[in-house]
Amino acid sequence: MSRYLVTSALPYANGPIHFGHIAGAYLPADVYVRTLRMQGEEVLYICGADEHGTAITVNAEAEGIPYSEYVARWRGVIKDTFDRFGIRFDVWSGTSICPEHPAQSQEFFRRLEGNGFLEQQESEQLYCPHDRMFLADRYIVGTCYLCGHDKARGNECPACGQELDPLRMAVAACRICGTRPEKRKTRHWYLDLAKLRDEHIGQWFQQHEWKPNVTGFIGGQLKEIGLRPITRDMSWGIPVPADCAGSETGKVLYVWFDAPIGYISFTQEWARMAGKPDDWKRWWQDPDSRIVHFLGKDNISFHCLIFPSMLYGVKQGYQLPWAVPANEFYNLQGGKFSTSEKRTIPIEEFCARYDTEAARFYLLASSPESADSDWRWEDFQATVNAQLADKIGNLVTRVLRFLEKNYEGVIPPCDDATAAELDRVLFEECGTFGDPAEFTRRFQFRRACEQLIQNAVLANVFVDRLAPWTLRKTDPVRAGAVLATCCQWIALLARWMAPFMPAKAGSVWEMLGNAGRVEEAGWPKLPVAGAWRTLPAGRKLGAVGPLFAKIEKETVAEELAKLAPK
């Protein structure tokens, strides 16, 4: 048994999250965590909001509210979305509210400096006298000195696609207020990534096994990597520790630097709340811990290169990531999700109209594991109707309703000889089945979904072969044994379903008359003939009802119409 520390990329508290985020970094992690838990592993699932940075201050000021209020609102909205979709963290915090976070971030800065991995350098940057801040490149508009386009961003020209140096732009303005910025000198700290690479991280990266999209991406970056600034002139953030700052004032840690440290400080917060404040060390510094970071491809370099460099650089025995299941991007109907352009699926509206558990399944079944993929309404409909409702839902109702009508809603007995015979049919003649967790553990969620459905199909084949509706007329006891066998299989199915669709699995579990929660039944061993039945004969079934509502063609058409460009 290992110990798994699972994280999902910290969502930036600057807006709502959409299905792309859920499919990429959160839902797979939730399913992974639930599966490992049912298998008896020790697991901790950490997340929280990323709450510093310029974008937040600019937007909060535009709204005229305090930064803390602004981030609190989005922290709440985002958490609400997770709750609605059944994504459950052991701790949900935020980088601006976690009590442990400032000290922990400063500790990293201090140790990195002490170990010689930081450098100070002076540079010229553009400063807006009106907004009284240094401007990030993206907050500068000006004329591209390469092609003459007059609305070029400081970092890149949208017209010619070239990278730009904002200091060279002849005509430049602050994108926030329009004022012409001035050049000012400022001093900052930089993380020496090349040194960290040469000392350990380069070798570590090459020895580690990664998904193909990770290997290719980082391989190139490793060669070019150099100094990366980790401080910034602003007030919203974690201050550079006083004992390191010297004469410098008004410097905070760059948001990308403090954000991943949040994984650690949130773990410390969790440990304190759990009444064992030192327990976080076991999760982060014990070689038996396996750290798993779920994220989208935009975060690959941070989690495979920069954060590992930081973890190594402090030299405090931190474990480096064990696995980084990085997903590609998830799009909407062939185009990007875009809240501002209303190319999105509003979460609240969606939840009022559709089944979030069905959405979980579809998001997993279409997840962007090896390439960008899409939410397509027609596919959502097909998956819900043909796979969930017809294959799983219908299996449950066809068996349980039969028992209600003809066997007084009680699981009939099945003697050992009959059980042995039926097992032979089930395991040898009805097709293949498998353990979805085998795929989940390898981060292959699409395949795990397929396996789940395949396991339900097996039971449908079994029912068809034995045809209890015919058998009942000549041999009702044997027909009962067939149906009892189906119930046993459905009980397995409920447990297999639990990580993917926890509420639906719970419903099935109750329909079978089980007390307690399905998660607590644990993950089933792969069934083998003669040793897999768990339900007692004579068990009274619960109320039987449809599991999944089908989605009408007209509904799909309406949704597609909403996305059509106006």
Task: Rank residues 19 and 283 by Cβ distance to RNA and give the closer one.
Answer: 19
9: which strand partners?
none
Task: Rank residues 289 and 385 by Cβ distance to RNA and give the closer one.
Answer: 385
Q: Which of 265, 344, 440, 460 contacts RNA by CB under 7 A?
A: 460
Cβ atoms of 31 and 446 closer than 8 Å: no
Cβ atoms of 285 and 319 closer than 8 Å: yes
Residue numbers 331-390 binding RNA by CB under 7 A: 336, 366, 369-374, 379, 382, 386-387, 389-390
190: which strand partners?
119, 229
Rg (CA), the chain: 28
Residue numbers 245-284 binding RNA by CB under 7 A: 254-256
Tell me the closest approach of the beta carbon of residue 254 to RNA, in angstroms. Answer: 7
Task: Please state, in angstroms and rounded to a whole number, the distance separating the CA atoms of residues 9 and 303.
Answer: 9
Alpha-carbon distances, residue 32 vs 8, 15, 325, 502 (angstroms): 11, 26, 11, 13
Task: Please state, in angstroms and rounded to a whole number, the distance separating the CA atoms of residues 357 and 501.
Answer: 5
Residue numbers 58-117 binding RNA by CB under 7 A: none
Task: Rank residues 416 and 428 by Cβ distance to RNA and give the closer one.
Answer: 428
Task: Rank residues 226 and 317 by Cβ distance to RNA and give the closer one.
Answer: 226
Q: Which of 77, 159, 425, 457 contacts RNA by CB under 7 A?
A: 457
Name the residue among 474, 61, 19 with its Cα closest to residue 482.
Answer: 474
Residue numbers 296-315 binding RNA by CB under 7 A: 297-299, 302
Name the residue among 182, 193, 400, 216 with its Cα closest to residue 297.
Answer: 216
Q: Write the interaction track for RNA spanning residues 171-210; mark x where CB under 7 A is met and - where it is not.
A: -----------------x----------------------
Tell me the closest approach of the beta carbon of residue 202 to RNA, in angstroms. Answer: 14
Asked if residue 217 binds RNA (CB under 7 A), the reply is yes
36-44, 62-70, 269-277, 394-402 -> range binding RNA (CB under 7 A): 394-402
Tell me the closest approach of the beta carbon of residue 315 to RNA, in angstroms. Answer: 23
Tell me the closest approach of the beta carbon of residue 253 to RNA, in angstroms. Answer: 12
Kindly state the helix (H) or strand (E) to which residue 5 belongs, with its residue range: strand 3-8
Asked if residue 509 binds RNA (CB under 7 A), the reply is no
Tell me the closest approach of the beta carbon of residue 163 to RNA, in angstroms. Answer: 5
Cβ atoms of 7 and 26 closer than 8 Å: no
Helices (H), ranges, 366-432 = 377-382, 394-406, 416-429
Asked if residue 547 binds RNA (CB under 7 A), the reply is yes
Asked if residue 510 binds RNA (CB under 7 A), the reply is no
Classify residue 533 by its DSSP letter.
-
Q: Which of 4, 12, 26, 354 contacts RNA by CB under 7 A?
A: 12
Name the residue among 14, 17, 15, 23 with its Cα closest to residue 375.
Answer: 23
CA–centroid distance for 357 within its chain: 15
Q: Write the interaction track for RNA spanning residues 16-55; mark x where CB under 7 A is met and - where it is not.
A: ----------------------------------x-xxxx
Asked if residue 154 binds RNA (CB under 7 A), the reply is yes
Asked if residue 409 binds RNA (CB under 7 A), the reply is no
Encoding tokens for residue 356?
């979030």
Q: Which of 70, 127, 350, 548 contacts RNA by CB under 7 A?
A: 548
Size of the site for RNA (CB under 7 A): 81
110-118, 279-287, 494-502, 543-551 -> range binding RNA (CB under 7 A): 543-551
Task: Rank residues 239 and 431 by Cβ distance to RNA and give the closer one.
Answer: 431
Q: Is 118 helix (H, G, I), strand (E, B) or coil?
A: strand
Kindly state the helix (H) or strand (E) to which residue 233 belongs, with its residue range: strand 231-233
279-287, 340-348, 465-473, 553-561 -> range binding RNA (CB under 7 A): 465-473
Task: Please state, in angstroms and rounded to a whole number, the distance separating the CA atoms of residues 351 and 403.
Answer: 33
Asked if residue 132 binds RNA (CB under 7 A), the reply is no
Name the residue among 355, 362, 379 with its Cα closest to residue 507.
Answer: 355
CB-based contacts of 267, cutoff 8 Å, min separation 6: 5, 44, 46, 91, 280, 283, 284
Task: Rank residues 429 and 520 by Cβ distance to RNA and give the closer one.
Answer: 429
